[in-house]
Chain A
Amino acid sequence: KQEVTQIPAALSVPEGENLVLNCSFTDSAIYNLQWFRQDPGKGLTSLLLIQSSQREQTSGRLNASLDKSSGRSTLYIAASQPGDSATYLCAVQTGANNLFFGTGTRLTVIP
């Protein structure tokens, strides 16, 4: 069964710093990997989707990489802002349609 792990569980950084969030998964036979943002008590906002044939995707200050063979993905956030404070979730799609989620990294950006 696919297991998705995210490290660290929580991260606090000063505003302006660049940071990296890590995601690992046990079964490399994935269709894609998605990064989401979740604000407290709210839904999930999709940030980036990387297909299994891709190595990275970029959107604004966000860059996600995927190393399928080693079962790893990173989310790089450049020049962090207080508004980036949220929980970041990664999820992999391995089967028909469902996503397997990690437990998330709770990010706090200190002004």
Chain B
Amino acid sequence: EPEVTQTPSHQVTQMGQEVILRCVPISNHLYFYWYRQILGQKVEFLVSFYNNEISEKSEIFDDQFSVERPDGSNFTLKIRSTKLEDSAMYFCASSEMTGLETQYFGPGTRLLVL
């Protein structure tokens, strides 16, 4: 069964460093998303992406964040200058056609900022 994959599974970085989190959505899906979950808190929406552009973003997704689909398979989330409060599990998700179907989530990347 097709699934969303994410790399790396864990990343440790120093405050102020740039990180890139990678995702490979399910191949025939058109909508892509990033969510994050700070330890012990709710899963929060960051951004959705369709047709090579951001379709919606939350207030969390400020100028430090950017997303890109550099080729036909990868979808990346970049954090330019990490802060301690960026430590969280980051989930990538994808959905098929309209953005109103089931969203399928990857296993997540656990980011720790020291």
Q: Is B25 part of the binding interface, using a Cβ–Cβ cutoff of 8 Å?
A: no
Q: Would you call the interface of chain A mostly helix, strand, loop, or mixed?
A: strand
Are A44 and B55 neighbours in the complex by a CB distance under 8 Å?
A: no
Q: Is A64 part of the binding interface, using a Cβ–Cβ cutoff of 8 Å?
A: no
Instruction: Determine the interface band of chain B, counting residues with CB < 8 A from chain A.
Output: 20 to 34
Complex CA–CA separation, A71 to B89 (angstroms): 29
Are A43 and B45 neighbours in the complex by a CB distance under 8 Å?
A: no
Q: Is B43 part of the binding interface, using a Cβ–Cβ cutoff of 8 Å?
A: yes
Given that A31-B100, A43-B107, A49-B102 are contacting pairs, would A101 and B58 also be in contact in the complex, using a CB cutoff of 8 Å?
no
Are B106 and A96 neighbours in the complex by a CB distance under 8 Å?
A: no
Which of B4, B56, B58 gathers the greatest number of chain A CB atoms within 10 Å? B56
* The residue from A45, A46, A97 contacting B31, defined by CB atoms under 8 A apart: A97
Q: Is A62 part of the binding interface, using a Cβ–Cβ cutoff of 8 Å?
A: no
Q: Is A65 part of the binding interface, using a Cβ–Cβ cutoff of 8 Å?
A: no
Cβ–Cβ < 8 Å partners of B101 in chain A = 49
Complex CA–CA separation, A31 to B31 (angstroms): 16
Instruction: Determine the interface band of chain A, counting residues with CB < 8 A from chain B.
Output: 20 to 34
- Per-residue 0/1 for A22-54: is the Cβ within 8 Å of any B Cβ (1 yes, 0 no)? 000000000110101000011111100101000
Q: Would you give the shortest CB distance from B114 to chain A, in whole angstroms?
A: 19
Which of B45, B50, B103 gathers the greatest number of chain A CB atoms within 10 Å? B103
* The residue from B33, B41, B107 contacting A98, defined by CB atoms under 8 A apart: B33
Q: Is A103 part of the binding interface, using a Cβ–Cβ cutoff of 8 Å?
A: yes
Given that A89-B43, A96-B48, A97-B33 are contacting pairs, would A44 and B91 also be in contact in the complex, using a CB cutoff of 8 Å?
yes
